[in-house]
């Protein structure tokens, strides 16, 4: 629902917000931060600053104070969209009307000096696979004749991931150690992953939950979605290839996932909802529980996604990051509402703060791929960095950074903040294990 908070003419008395690439007053994302010498608390990003919501909870009486007093946003996510919208309207009024500046100024903190935390306690993390071009590209590498399995166009494919290893942007990723089997070898070897990859995804924050046994109807699904962050679902392709049959990914995925710190709310994203791309001719119409005309009319997101990379050598020589990909959230074959409806149709209960990954989002063009696996054709065609270095997969010291922009004509563009991490060498004590062979690139 579009209201005055989306007005492109609205400006903030926080000067850095006006024209800010990520956090103009039209965004107002929610997160958890600690100011210098302070404890964690809820905040909203405004320009280069963070406004302390706990400190001004008495001015935000549209939601109960306890929803703004904890060290995680679960209670706030559990509130109705109506209440979150009222909070947004109040925040937008406070930050645009100059008369509130004297009261609020002391509760604004320079974001550069704050520490950010995971915005919510993530009880469960599910990873879907709705990026159809990614699924097709990966499928082609495995099964050139039938890249998509027959269930793909009937079911939003997903699996249960691991919530405990989700970390905030900036935390280094330790290269995982495990089993892999070389193509012509009868037995596996043990050692650091030699095929470490990133996956460009969006993550959907669940708002209000549903009781066990009570599915969320697709027409109600939007009431259970609170917001979106960026997600890098790091993947060890060599472990994955060996372990995934018959039950799906396990240690190849659960060692670390990186998310951006801010929850960009569904209310902020309202102007950027667009029609879901029509299914190509010949594709089946989904079963009724997955179909809603209103969802088809506005269930997709006009969000552009970018991946950049630096190597250690690039940073040493001050070489600018190399763009690896410019992708788009409209590559989702299934909508977020279809993901929620499918997840709960068997009675499975979602809880506030649960996190649903979309799966890797690649476009159908070579410049819009969401993983190295696709870009390098499973390592056969390495990319070249400005330093002349080549990469089939990630080496220690490489940094992958995601950014995103929700953009549409007539509205102010909003962003998500950074989602980045550096790969660091695997756990030292494994180095002495005899069976641990060295990393080979190609």
134 belongs to the catalytic site: yes
Q: Could you tell me which of 392, 358, 394, 399 has the C-alpha nearest to residue 375? A: 392
Which of 55/157 has CB closer to Ca ion? 157
Who contacts 146 (Cβ-Cβ below 8 Å, separation ≥6)? 139
Which of 233/398 has CB closer to Ca ion? 233
Q: Could you tell me the smallest distance in angstroms from the CB atom of residue 374 to Ca ion?
A: 13
Stretch that binds Ca ion, among 28-36, 195-203, 304-312, 370-378 (CB under 5 A): 195-203
Measured at the CA of 383, the angle between CA 378 and CA 404, to 5 degrees, comes to: 90
Interface with Ca ion includes 374 (CB under 5 A)? no
Structure tokens at 41: 């608390």
CB 229 within 8 A of CB 260: yes
Name the residue whose CB lies closest to Ca ion. 233
Q: Could you give phi then psi for residue 355, rounded to 5 degrees?
A: -130, 125
Which of 127/238 has CB closer to Ca ion? 127
Interface with Ca ion includes 233 (CB under 5 A)? yes
Q: Could you tell me the smallest distance in angstroms from the CB atom of residue 213 to Ca ion?
A: 28
Stretch that binds Ca ion, among 49-57, 79-87, 229-237, 271-279 (CB under 5 A): 229-237
The alpha carbon of 238 is separated from its chain's Cα centroid by a whole number of angstroms, namely 23
Which of 44/252 has CB closer to Ca ion? 252
Tell me which residues in 410-429 interact with Ca ion (CB under 5 A): none
Stretch that binds Ca ion, among 8-16, 18-26, 162-170, 225-233 (CB under 5 A): 225-233
Q: Could you tell me the smallest distance in angstroms from the CB atom of residue 160 to Ca ion?
A: 12
Q: Could you tell me the smallest distance in angstroms from the CB atom of residue 433 to Ca ion?
A: 29
Who contacts 258 (Cβ-Cβ below 8 Å, separation ≥6)? 166, 167, 168, 169, 171, 173, 231, 232, 234, 419, 420, 421
Q: Could you tell me the smallest distance in angstroms from the CB atom of residue 128 to Ca ion?
A: 8
Helix (H, G, I), strand (E, B) or coil at 5: helix
CB 438 within 8 A of CB 390: no
Stretch that binds Ca ion, among 55-63, 123-131, 273-281, 296-304 (CB under 5 A): 123-131
Interface with Ca ion includes 399 (CB under 5 A)? no
Residue window 124-153: x/- pattern of binding to Ca ion, with contact defined by CB under 5 A: ---x--------------------------
Interface with Ca ion includes 199 (CB under 5 A)? yes
Output the CA–CA distances (angstroms, integers) from residue 208 to 82, 192, 211, 230, in the order listed.
Answer: 12, 40, 10, 20
Applying CB under 5 A, the site for Ca ion has a residue count of 3
CB 428 within 8 A of CB 174: no
Stretch that binds Ca ion, among 114-122, 231-239, 347-355, 375-383 (CB under 5 A): 231-239
Q: Could you tell me the smallest distance in angstroms from the CB atom of residue 274 to Ca ion?
A: 23
Q: Could you tell me the smallest distance in angstroms from the CB atom of residue 357 to Ca ion?
A: 6
Which of 124/127 has CB closer to Ca ion? 127
Tell me which residues in 38-97 interact with Ca ion (CB under 5 A): none
Which of 233/292 has CB closer to Ca ion? 233
> Cis (ω within 30 of 0) for the bond into 223?
no
Written as one string, the DSSP assignment of 170-229 is TPPEEPPEEEE--TT-SS-EEEE-SSEE--EEEEEEE-S---TT-PPPGGGGGGGEEEEE
Output the CA–CA distances (angstroms, integers) from residue 428 to 248, 411, 431, in the order listed.
Answer: 28, 50, 5
Q: Could you tell me the smallest distance in angstroms from the CB atom of residue 231 to Ca ion?
A: 8
Residue 37, sorted as left (phi over 0), alpha (psi -120 to 50) or beta, turns out to be left
Q: Could you tell me the smallest distance in angstroms from the CB atom of residue 134 to Ca ion?
A: 9
Looking up tokens 């998509």 gives: 148
Q: Which residues are paired to 200 by β-bridges?
A: 232
CA distance 257 to 162: 9
Which of 72/138 has CB closer to Ca ion? 138
The alpha carbon of 427 is separated from its chain's Cα centroid by a whole number of angstroms, namely 26
Of the listed 134, 256, 342, 343, which one is catalytic?
Answer: 134
Which of 127/354 has CB closer to Ca ion? 127
Which of 161/379 has CB closer to Ca ion? 161
Stretch that binds Ca ion, among 79-87, 122-130, 144-152, 416-424 (CB under 5 A): 122-130
Please report, as ranges, the residues that interact with Ca ion according to CB under 5 A.
Answer: 127, 199, 233
Cite the active site residues: 134
């Amino acid at each position: 629902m579009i209201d005055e908070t989306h007005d492109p003419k609205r400006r903030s008395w926080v000067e850095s917000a006006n024209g800010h690439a990520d956090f103009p007053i039209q965004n107002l994302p929610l997160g958890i931060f600690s100011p210098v010498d302070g404890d964690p608390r809820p905040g909203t990003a405004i320009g280069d600053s963070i406004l302390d919501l706990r400190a001004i909870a008495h001015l935000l009486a549209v939601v109960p104070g306890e929803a703004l007093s904890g060290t995680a946003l679960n209670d706030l996510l559990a509130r109705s969209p109506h209440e979150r919208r009222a909070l947004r309207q109040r925040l937008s009024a406070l930050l645009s009307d100059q008369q509130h500046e004297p009261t609020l100024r002391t509760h604004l903190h320079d974001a550069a000096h704050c520490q950010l935390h995971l915005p919510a306690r993530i009880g469960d993390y599910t990873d879907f696979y709705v990026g159809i071009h990614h699924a097709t590209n990966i499928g082609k590498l495995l099964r050139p004749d039938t890249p998509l399995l027959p269930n793909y166009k009937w079911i939003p494919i997903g699996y249960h991931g691991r919530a405990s290893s989700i970390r905030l942007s900036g935390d280094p990723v330790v290269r995982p150690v495990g089993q892999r089997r070389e193509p012509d070898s009868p037995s596996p070897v043990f050692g650091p992953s030699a095929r470490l990859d990133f996956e460009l995804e969006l993550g959907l924050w669940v708002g209000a939950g549903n009781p066990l046994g009570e599915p969320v109807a697709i027409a109600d699904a939007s009431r259970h979605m609170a917001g979106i962050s960026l997600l890098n679902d790091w993947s060890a392709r060599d472990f994955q290839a060996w372990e995934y049959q018959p039950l799906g990914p396990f240690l190849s995925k659960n060692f670390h996932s990186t998310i951006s710190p801010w929850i960009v709310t569904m209310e902020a994203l309202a102007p950027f909802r667009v029609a879901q791309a029509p299914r190509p001719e010949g594709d089946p119409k989904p079963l009724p529980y997955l179909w809603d005309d209103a969802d088809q009319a506005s269930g997709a997101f006009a969000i552009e996604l970018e991946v950049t990379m630096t190597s250690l050598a690039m940073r040493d020589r001050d070489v600018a990051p190399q763009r690896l990909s410019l992708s788009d959230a409209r590559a989702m074959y299934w909508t977020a509402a279809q993901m929620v409806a499918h997840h709960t149709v068997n009675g499975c209960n979602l809880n506030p703060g649960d996190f649903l990954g979309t799966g890797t989002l690649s476009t159908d063009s070579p410049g819009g791929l969401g993983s190295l696996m696709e870009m390098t054709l499973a390592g056969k065609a390495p990319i070249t960095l400005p330093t002349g270095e080549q990469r089939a997969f990630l080496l220690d010291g490489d940094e992958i950074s995601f950014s995103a922009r929700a953009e549409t004509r007539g509205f102010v563009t909003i962003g998500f903040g950074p989602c980045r991490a550096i790969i660091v060498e695997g756990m030292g004590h494994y180095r002495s294990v005899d069976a641990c062979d060295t990393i080979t690139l190609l």
